[in-house]
Each structure stands twice: as structure tokens, then as C-alpha cells.
Structure 1
């Protein structure tokens, strides 16, 4: 039972995926928050690449959809009710939701790398339901207040933004650095803002879609390269006087983009691998890695980034609305997912509004 709450209905609408390309709107009970949880009225949810992968294929690696599931994990909203043990939040608070609730007791959690917790319960990762619903209950320490000047859309996008922050931290991105980002889908676009926040002087991005390159320019990329029209590695070398980038992020999950990211680095450069390719093994130039002492970092989600992300986004360093191209109500989730899946040349980021615009 909760000790304090706003007016909360007994049932809610949920967008439930029953099979690939098959999402249906259903009525479900509103969850009751446990003593250490809050109930959040979901106001905005971003469609992520992982949502699309489940929608199109029903699985991502070992994570297989075996029963109807609710997708969506990039979310924000309003606290509607608090469990008895919650002291740090109250009904009416505007919040961003970090979607991966970890155990807090394993070695990874105890050492601050809780993104590697083996018992994480991550929204919209089978078997756990996600946020394409009107209400979710989630442990209070993964819910963060947001200031009035931060929109629900921006707060939801703190989730992909956190990936860029984590990639920057992992690679030790420093002020004055040159950063190359291969692939500017939503994660790559928010990584531009992370690069700016960490002081990158030049941010060079590559992609195949003009609409994404235009969004990249609006968010602060200093140079954009259409990989269909010119060789990204050659161009990056030209832009850096033959030296190469200090740091590269591969965010596309594309084998060629990963190889290009590696080849674009200077001697002693650093590579953060963010994107997940469809295959397990990709050929990399090992002599280049060894001879140039390239540091390579795997990036899995993020840890300890949400407060920093909220602070950066609230500073208005960049307007993430520049990447939002499509908006849908919850009842139109099927249409939203199909559009995001099939209209990649015109759709960058889609936001779902479970409780209306």
C-alpha cells in the first residue's frame, strides 16, 4: 500500500507486443508501488533502437520475447504515489526514470559499475515489461527529480544521453579533444552533446542519412560527413591535419563503421564501442591497434550518469528537440513503431505520449 498519492485510476492502457510487428492496446491494472517504489504517471517515452529490434525480430542476442511484452524504456513522468518507505520523492514531482533496477549487493553494484549487475531488471528487456503504459512502478532510487525548465521529452532522452556520457567517461574524453562519432542515430546525436559537455573542441560525425547529419549540426557537430559520398577515414585525417581523432565512438552497430572508427584514430587514440553489430565477430586491424597503442573500451548502458545528465540538459547546452521528428499518442504505438522501422530517411526520434500530448 502507498501512503500518499494523487488521484490514480484502477486500470490503465498498455501497448502490448504479441508478435513481431503486432502491438495491441490493452487494459491492465495500475500497479501498486511496493514500500520502496514510486508509481510514475508516464508522460513521454522515446522509441529506442532496441525497441525496434524486438519489434522487427523478437529478440536481441540472448534476450528473446517468449510472451507478450510492453516495450519502451526511455521515459519520464510525474510521481503519482509513493510507497511507505519513500522519503526522497512525493506525489507531483516531475521525474526522469532510469530504467535498469539493479540488486545493489553484487560486486559490480558495490564497486559502482552497477550496469554490469547480473540481476538487473531493465524495462522492456524480456521478461520485464517496459514503459509504453500509462503508469509504471519502479524503485525510488532509480527515479530522479527534474527542474521545471526541463521538458518531459528531454528528460526521457536523458536515457540515450547517459550512454554518451558513459562513453565519454570510459574513454577519458578531455577538453580540447577531437572526437569522431560514427553513426548519428539517437545515441550518436546525444553523444554529440556529451562530447560538448566534456569539452571536445572538434566533433566530427559520419552517417548515411542527410536528416541525421542536419540534426547533428544543430546539436553542435563541427563537421559532418556523408559516408555515401566520401571516405570517412580520409576526410577525418584531412580535418585533423593527417593526425587522426583523439577519441572515436562507434554508435551505429555497423562493422564497417567500427573499422572506420578504429582507422580514424591518432597514435595513442581511444575507441569506445557503443553500437552492437548483428554478428559476434568483426575483423579488426590488430597490428594497427598494437603499433599505435589504441585503447578500446566496451560500453554497456551506463552507471551513475542520471543526475549529471539532468544537470547538463537543464543547462540548455543543446536543444534535444532538434532530434525529435515524430510524436504519437499511446493508442497509435503500432503506427509509431512501423513508421520508425520503415521511414529511417525521414524519422530520427519518435516520442510516445501515454497520457496524451
Structure 2
């Protein structure tokens, strides 16, 4: 292998392998809330230790939608820092093929030109106290693909993997939308790990969208006594059964709290995984858990949530845990998708061309016609 170039030098063309590339590409550019535009921009060029990837598919996440609509968590207010910046290319769940990289990048990631790859959504700094302590997913600068200008995302024909990225290979046999699902599935599996599920547990998953279905599949793999899925859409509940739920409850027609207590001799569930992002699901979970139960919150909320905290303390002494991103779960998520265990054709309901990004956002906003919507550049 050739020696890695110094940080302040420009990579010579001979040090980067790959085909000759076009000068420009199509990309979605963020100009502010509800102001995303498809534009022609320059194809990025990889620097030392970086890789250029031709994007094959990029999923649209619920957090993408909240960012698009200007939720304070993403655009910031007086009390919370902004995650999103203008003039950035969005998209943090993706798959692509490496088209250019140098020896340094090839050696670090164990990949070469032509390999099919995904990258974790976080690009750690590897210098802050969290990264140095091995908790890279809580990195203090918290650069994530698609939210910061220095880490452009995947709603484009090409994207860069910086030298700090975490890269994983994925089968070339998977459809692009299926391969890109490794991101939400890894997140769901991390939430399951945070739940510390045991064999005799009754586990309730709120929401049977992309994250919730992944939670159901992950929870089932832990072999608890019972996995229960909650949703208002019968088609999603049917899909939850295919993903491993033992039974499902339609909260539009049934009282989930009463039903779960009926199934548990009046005690309540041992574990509740929240994956809806709807404020009502929080109180629902606190009420249907047994004393000393475990509540895991994964969702990104568009507004503040108010609950009776005495349920957590004086009433039940609950363990309430957050879950963020999908640390250390990407290999397991990729294996699960490649195994064929999940009904991926039914989960990945819509694949649209990049130019139809607005239609994709609208489909996710509706939530009635789709489960996972992806763009195919």
C-alpha cells in the first residue's frame, strides 16, 4: 500500500482509483423548511482517505419529514441546537457502489472500487469524550449525513464517504431499497438491545412503520414470551405478524392498555418500545407497563410531550431508556435483510426517481399508502 498523503495536500489523480466521472449531477438541496429543490451541482471529488460512492437508493425517514416541515429539533430554537443546515443535500439511509477511493480508504474499510456499501448515519469526530470512550454514536459534534454541510447526504447521484465514516459491505444481490433499509433496521435493533429483553417478557411495540417492524423482528429474535404490535392501520398490523409479532392490537378499535393487562393477569407488559413519534403513545406505554417495567423511547417528536411523571416514579418505578441511532447493530441488520427473514417487498412499498422527491415526502407525510419510501437516483 502507498503511504497516506498528508492532511493538507491534494490527492493526486493517480492515487484515486475509479472511472472518469461526469462533472455535474442532480441533487436535492435544502434551502429551508418546505423549500427543497432539485438542482444541478458539481460531482464531489474524494480527498485523502475518502471514497466517492454512486448512490443506488436512499430512504426517506420520518426525521427527514420533520426536518422538511421545520421541527425545532432540526432547525433549532432558543433552547435546542439545530441538526439541519441550509444548502445541504439530505438523506441519511442509503446504499451505493464505490467508484473512486485511494489506498488509505481501501485499507481502512477493506473495500475496493465496485463494492456495494452502506455507511452508518453518524460521522464521528473520534476526538470528543464520547468517541474516546467508545460511545461514538453520541459524538459531541454529531455530524450526520444529510444534516450538515460538511457531511452531505445521499439524495443525489453521488456522495462522499469521509475518512471518519463507518462503512459496511452489503450484498450486491439485494434491491437498492432493501439494502438501504439497513439504516432503520439497525436503529430498531439498537432499541431492542436497550430494552434488555428476557425469555419470560411480554414485549409491546408501539407503531408498525419501518422502525416498529424492525423492533418487532428484533424483539422476536430474543425469544420472549410474547411480542405484541400496536397500530391503527390493519395492513401494518398484518405485516407486523409477518415480521414476528405473536399478536397485534388495533388501537383504533381496541383499548391497548386493557387488552395487555388482560393478557398478563392484570400486571401489564414487561417492556414497551415506542416507535410512533406520536405524543399519545408515551402515556399509553407508561400505563400499560407493569411495575418495574422497561420503557424504551426511540422516536423523534415534532413537539413537546407531557406525561404524569409520578407513574414513572411513585407508581411503578420504571426504567425509562432512550435509544439513538444503531451502534454496533449494522452487521446484524445487514445479515437479517440478506437472510430473507423479513418481507422486504412489502416493507419497501415505494421506489421513486430522485426528481419525484416531493412526492416521496408527501407519501411519508400521509402514512396511509406507504411504509418505506425510497428514491432511486
**Given the two structures, how large is their TM-score scaled by the length of structure 1?**
0.91
Structure (1 or 2) with the greater strand fraction: 1
Structure 1: stretches of 5+ with no match in the other structure:
none
The aligned residue for residue 154 of structure 2 is 131
CA distance in 1, matches of 2:83, 2:287: 34
Question: Quick one: structure 1 residues 285 and 69, their matched pair in 2 at CA, closer, same or farther if it must change by over 3 Å?
Answer: same
1:65-89 CA distances to partner (integer Å, 9 max, x unpaired)?
5533322111011111113412111
Question: Quick one: structure 1 residues 4 and 175, their matched pair in 2 at CA, closer, same or farther if it must change by over 3 Å?
Answer: farther
Question: Quick one: structure 1 residues 28 and 287, their matched pair in 2 at CA, closer, same or farther if it must change by over 3 Å?
Answer: closer
Matches within 5 A, 1:16-165: 16-57=29-70, 59-61=72-74, 62=76, 63=82, 67-86=86-105, 87=107, 88-127=110-149, 128-139=151-162, 141-165=165-189
Question: Quick one: structure 1 residues 179 and 333, their matched pair in 2 at CA, closer, same or farther if it must change by over 3 Å?
Answer: same
State the shift of 1:182 in Å.
1.2
Question: Quick one: structure 1 residues 58 and 234, their matched pair in 2 at CA, closer, same or farther if it must change by over 3 Å?
Answer: closer
Tell whether the 8 Å contact from 1:6 to 1:91 is kept in structure 2 after alignment.
no
CA distance in 1, matches of 2:335, 2:214: 14
State the shift of 1:7 in Å.
4.2
Q: Across the two proteins, how many residue pairs are aligned to each other?
A: 353
Question: Quick one: structure 1 residues 287 and 353, their matched pair in 2 at CA, closer, same or farther if it must change by over 3 Å?
Answer: closer
Structure 2: stretches of 5+ with no match in the other structure:
1-10, 77-81
The aligned residue for residue 166 of structure 1 is 190
State the shift of 1:186 in Å.
1.6
Matches within 5 A, 1:1-357: 1=11, 2-57=15-70, 59-61=72-74, 62=76, 63=82, 67-86=86-105, 87=107, 88-127=110-149, 128-139=151-162, 141-287=165-311, 289-341=313-365, 343-354=366-377
**Once superposed, what is the RMSD of the aligned Cα atoms?**
2.1
Question: Quick one: structure 1 residues 16 and 176, their matched pair in 2 at CA, closer, same or farther if it must change by over 3 Å?
Answer: same
Q: Mean Cα displacement is larger for which, 290-299 or 156-165?
A: 290-299
1:178-230 CA distances to partner (integer Å, 9 max, x unpaired)?
21011222211221122123333422111222332232222222222121111
Q: Determine which structure has more spread, i.e. the larger CA radius of gyration.
A: 2
Tell whether the 8 Å contact from 2:72 to 2:302 is kept in structure 1 after alignment.
no
Question: Quick one: structure 1 residues 108 and 309, their matched pair in 2 at CA, closer, same or farther if it must change by over 3 Å?
Answer: same
Tell whether the 8 Å contact from 1:59 to 1:65 is kept in structure 2 after alignment.
no
1:322-354 CA distances to partner (integer Å, 9 max, x unpaired)?
21221101121122222322x321122101001
Report the 3-state secondary structure (helix = DSSP H, G, I; strand = E; otherwise coil) of the residue aligned with 1:234.
helix
Tell whether the 8 Å contact from 1:101 to 1:142 is kept in structure 2 after alignment.
yes
State the shift of 1:249 in Å.
0.6
State the shift of 1:242 in Å.
2.6
1:220-258 CA distances to partner (integer Å, 9 max, x unpaired)?
222221211111111112233333222111111222211
Structure 1 outlier segments of 4+, above 4 Å: none
State the shift of 1:64 in Å.
6.3
Report the 3-state secondary structure (helix = DSSP H, G, I; strand = E; otherwise coil) of the residue aligned with 2:17.
strand
Tell whether the 8 Å contact from 2:207 to 2:229 is kept in structure 1 after alignment.
yes
CA distance in 2, matches of 1:9, 1:328: 23
Tell whether the 8 Å contact from 2:282 to 2:307 is kept in structure 1 after alignment.
no
State the shift of 1:285 in Å.
4.3
Report the 3-state secondary structure (helix = DSSP H, G, I; strand = E; otherwise coil) of the residue aligned with 1:69.
coil
